[in-house]
């Protein structure tokens, strides 16, 4: 089955710096890759997603890149702010059917003022 | 966006009792819902896929007789933790595909279960 690895497990940056989180997946059939942000004790919130027919997607300060050949995808946050501090999870699934999401282990991002 | 609710948000129970958690899609119909368990500082682990009108599909290592799932309607799935023990204490979260946008999963707010 699918396996998703995520790095780093923790990331500390200064406000205004960029943050990059990387994930790799094992199943070449996976074609949908969402990123979720989870604050302590709350539900995961979808922040951006990408499908395998696209190499890059951007939404304001957040961007995701996908390399299908290498089977890895990355989240880029620019101009980080303290409110970006949270745990970020990547996930992979095969679109259609039951669309089961397999999550990475998570990255705890701390943005220091 | 699609809204998923979950009830209760928090429950404390004695060891040996059963607890039912409800997951509802409020503004869309969800033929498929998912149940996850999240231990402190860990990732979301998929427990089972719940399909309306049919039996749930459980992930490897998840006891189907202990975690009973019922998806009786297009807007409601329930998870019952039977004969709960302290090791079942966890954060249980459901999700549903967002209606017509079938790829996107929207999560409920979660249920914090504490078994004494």
Compute the mean pLDDT over every residue in chain A, rounded to the nearest whole number: 94
A34 shares contact with chain B (CB less than 8 Å): yes
> For residue B26, what are its two tokens?
């409020």
Phi, psi of B88 (to 5 degrees): -85, -5
Query: How many whole angstroms separate alpha carbon A30 and alpha carbon A44?
Result: 21
Beta strand extents in A1-113 (DSSP E only): 4-7, 10-14, 19-25, 32-38, 45-51, 56-59, 62-67, 72-77, 86-92, 102-103, 107-112
Q: Is the pLDDT of residue A94 over 90?
A: no
Compute the mean pLDDT over every residue in chain B, rounded to the nearest whole number: 91
> What is the distance of C-alpha A10 from the center of its chain?
13
Instruction: Determine contact, residues A5/B68, Cβ cutoff 8 Å.
Output: no
In a 3-state reduction of DSSP, which class is residue B96? strand
pLDDT of residue A5: 97
Cβ-proximal residues to A113 (8 Å cutoff; 6+ apart), any chain: A15, A82
pLDDT of residue B2: 80
The CA–CA distances, whole Å, from B74 to B51, B52, B66, B93 equal 9, 6, 23, 18
List the single best residue of B60, B96, B103 to mutate versus A (max A Cβ within 10 A): B103
Confidence of residue B17 (pLDDT cuts 50, 70, 90): very high
Confidence of residue A96 (pLDDT cuts 50, 70, 90): low
DSSP bridge pairs for B10:
B112
Chain B residues whose C-beta is within 8 A of a chain A C-beta are 32, 34, 42-46, 49, 51, 57, 91, 93, 95, 97, 102-110, 112
Do the Cβ atoms of B44 and A103 come within 8 Å? yes
> For residue B23, what are its two tokens?
């997951």
């Amino acid at each position: 089955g699918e396996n998703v690895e995520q790095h780093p497990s923790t990331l500390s940056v200064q406000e205004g710096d960029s943050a990059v989180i990387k994930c790799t997946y094992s199943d070449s059939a996976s074609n949908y890759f969402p990123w979720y942000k989870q604050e302590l004790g709350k539900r995961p919130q979808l922040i951006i997603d990408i499908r395998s027919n696209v190499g890059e997607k951007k939404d304001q300060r957040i961007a995701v890149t996908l390399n299908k050949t290498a089977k890895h995808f990355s989240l880029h946050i620019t101009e980080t702010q303290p409110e970006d501090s949270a745990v970020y999870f990547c996930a992979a699934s095969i679109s259609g059917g039951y669309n089961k999401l397999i999550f990475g282990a998570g990255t705890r991002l701390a943005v220091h003022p | 966006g699609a809204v998923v609710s979950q009830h209760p948000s928090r429950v404390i129970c004695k060891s040996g009792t059963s607890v039912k958690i409800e997951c509802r899609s409020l503004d869309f119909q969800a033929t498929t819902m998912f149940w996850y368990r999240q231990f402190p500082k860990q990732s979301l682990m998929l427990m089972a896929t719940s399909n309306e009108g049919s039996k749930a599909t459980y992930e490897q290592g998840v006891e189907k007789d202990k975690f009973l799932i019922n998806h009786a309607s297009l807007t409601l799935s329930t998870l019952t933790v039977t004969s709960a023990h302290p090791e079942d204490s966890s954060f249980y979260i459901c999700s549903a595909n967002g209606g017509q946008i079938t790829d996107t999963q929207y999560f409920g707010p979660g249920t914090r279960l504490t078994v004494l």
